[in-house]
């Protein structure tokens, strides 16, 4: 099980990267850090700089079918930067086109809104994305974790870091085919 973690060069909510990453490792998978630039990415603890993490691959070096699933960590700046990068948006959309599971937490659905893959899907997020998701054709719910199988793939979403335990369980189940 090879899982891509798509992040921008900075603005990732660290715990939304590190805890799902560990969950993939614990499930016997191989997480791969994919970004829009080479080098390293800067994570944050809310608004404060945290650790940096080395990039394994750029979005131009891989395709969705190189992986078994995708994790989109949140942070406000991270998905905001990703949705402005055509290659990052195309990479995320590729998982839907290939029918591969995607897990997104907090503000991460912004990237999926830009990829135009939420029509007819039910998901959750940080509450401020409700209108954006609705305008993109999705149905927003206020739940700890939402697993939507009513589309080309399984979509797992959660609202915030407090939801990470449920998010990680649902995401790894989707990635291993147990959902």
Q: Tell me which residue of 140, 108, 137 sits closest to 122, measured CA to CA.
A: 140
Catalytic entry in 106, 108, 113, 117 = 106
Catalytic (active site) residue 148: no
Report the mean per-residue pLDDT for the chain: 97
pLDDT tens sequence across 49-77: 999 999 999 999 999 999 999 999 999 99
**pTM for the complete prediction?**
0.98
Q: Are strands 69-72 and 102-105 parallel, antiparallel or unpaired?
A: parallel
Catalytic (active site) residue 106: yes
Sign of CA dihedral 69, 75, 79, 81: negative
pLDDT score for 151: 86
pLDDT tens sequence across 23-39: 999 999 999 999 999 99
pLDDT score for 38: 98
Under 8 Å CB-to-CB from 118, ≥6 apart: which residues? 109, 112, 133, 136, 137, 138
Range 100-113 average pLDDT: 98
Residues in the chain: 179
- Which residues form the domain of 88? 2-175
Catalytic entry in 83, 93, 107, 146 = 107
Structural domain total, the chain = 1
Side-chain half-sphere exposure of 32, counting CA atoms within 13 A: 18
CATH number for position 152: 3.40.50.880
């Amino acid at each position: 099980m090879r899982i891509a973690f798509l992040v921008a060069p900075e603005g990732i909510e660290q715990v939304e990267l590190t805890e799902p990453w560990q969950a993939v490792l614990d499930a016997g998978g191989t997480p791969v850090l994919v970004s829009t630039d080479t080098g390293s990415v800067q994570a944050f603890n809310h608004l404060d700089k945290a650790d940096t993490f080395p990039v394994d691959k750029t979005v131009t070096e891989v395709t969705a079918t190189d992986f078994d699933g995708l994790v989109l960590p949140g942070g406000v700046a991270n998905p905001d930067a990703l949705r402005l990068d055509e290659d990052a948006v195309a990479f995320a959309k590729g998982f839907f086109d290939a029918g591969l599971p995607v897990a997104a937490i907090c503000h991460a659905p912004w990237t999926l809104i830009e990829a135009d893959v939420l029509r007819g899907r039910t998901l959750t997020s940080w509450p401020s994305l409700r209108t954006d998701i609705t305008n993109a054709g999705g149905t927003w719910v206020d739940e700890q974790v939402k697993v939507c199988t009513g589309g080309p793939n399984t979509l797992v979403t959660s609202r915030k870091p407090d939801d990470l335990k449920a998010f990680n369980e649902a995401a790894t189940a989707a990635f291993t085919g147990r959902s």
